[in-house]
Amino acid sequence: MNEEKVSCKDVMSHICESLSEEMDSPKCVAIKDHLENCEGCKSYFTSVEMTIDLYKKCTETFPDDVHKKLMAFLELNDEK
Amino acid sequence: MNEEQLIASAKNGDRKALAELVKNYGQTVYSFAFKVCRDREKAENMMQETFYSMIKSLHQFDGNSKLSTWLYRIVVNHCLMEARKSSRYTFVEQETDDSLFDEKYIADWSTLPIKNLETKELRNILDSAIDKLQPEYRVVFTLRDVEEYSTEETAKMLELSVPAVKSRLHRARAFLRNEITKAFQE
Ligand SMILES: [Zn+2]
The domain in which residue A47 lies consists of: 8-73
Q: Report the candidate in B154, B131, B152 with the shortest Cα–Cα distance to residue B142.
A: B154
The whole-angstrom distance between B60's CA and the closest CA on chain A is 19
- Specify the pLDDT at position B177: 82
Q: What is the CATH number of the domain that holds B139?
A: 1.10.10.10
- Per the CB < 8 A criterion, the answer to whether B28 and B56 are in contact is no
Q: How many domains does chain B have?
A: 1
| Residues whose CB falls within 8 Å of the CB of residue A68, separated by 6 or more in sequence, listed in order | A77
- A35 occurs within a structural domain: yes
Residues of chain B with pLDDT under 70: 87-94, 101-119, 186
- Specify the pLDDT at position B53: 95
- A40 occurs within a structural domain: yes
Q: How many domains does chain A have?
A: 1
- Specify the pLDDT at position A79: 66
Residue to substitute from A34, A76, A78, A80, interface B, most B β-carbons within 10 A: A76
The domain in which residue B117 lies consists of: 3-185
CA B24 to each of CA A62, B7, B42: distance values in angstroms, whole numbers, following the listed order: 12, 12, 20
- Residue A64 pLDDT greater than 70, yes or no: yes
| Residues whose CB falls within 8 Å of the CB of residue B47, separated by 6 or more in sequence, listed in order | A66, A70, B26, B29, B30, B33, B75
Q: Report the candidate in B66, B73, B72 with the shortest Cα–Cα distance to residue B29.
A: B72
Using DSSP's 3-state secondary structure scheme, residue A79 falls into coil
Residue to substitute from B6, B48, B106, interface A, most A β-carbons within 10 A: B106
- Whole-angstrom Cα distance, residue A33 to residue B77? 40
- A80 occurs within a structural domain: no
- Per the CB < 8 A criterion, the answer to whether B178 and A51 are in contact is no
The whole-angstrom distance between B152's CA and the closest CA on chain A is 10
- Whole-angstrom Cα distance, residue B154 to residue B141? 10
Task: Give A 12-51 residues with CB within 8 A of chain B.
Answer: 12-15, 17, 39-41, 43-44, 46-48, 50-51
Contact B48 A70 (CB under 8 A): yes
Residue A35 phi, psi dihedral angles, 5° rounding: -60, -40
- A1 occurs within a structural domain: no
Q: Report the candidate in A55, A80, A5, A3 with the shortest Cα–Cα distance to residue B35.
A: A55
pTM of the complete model beyond 0.90: no
The yes/no answer to whether this complex scores an ipTM above 0.90 is no
Residue of A nearest to B130 (CA): A55
- Whole-angstrom Cα distance, residue B183 to residue B101? 17
Q: Give pLDDT tens digits for A12-53.
A: 777 666 444 466 778 788 888 888 888 877 777 777 888 888
- Specify the pLDDT at position A2: 45
- Specify the pLDDT at position B128: 86
- Considering only CB atoms, A17 lies closest to which of B52, B126, B151, namely B151
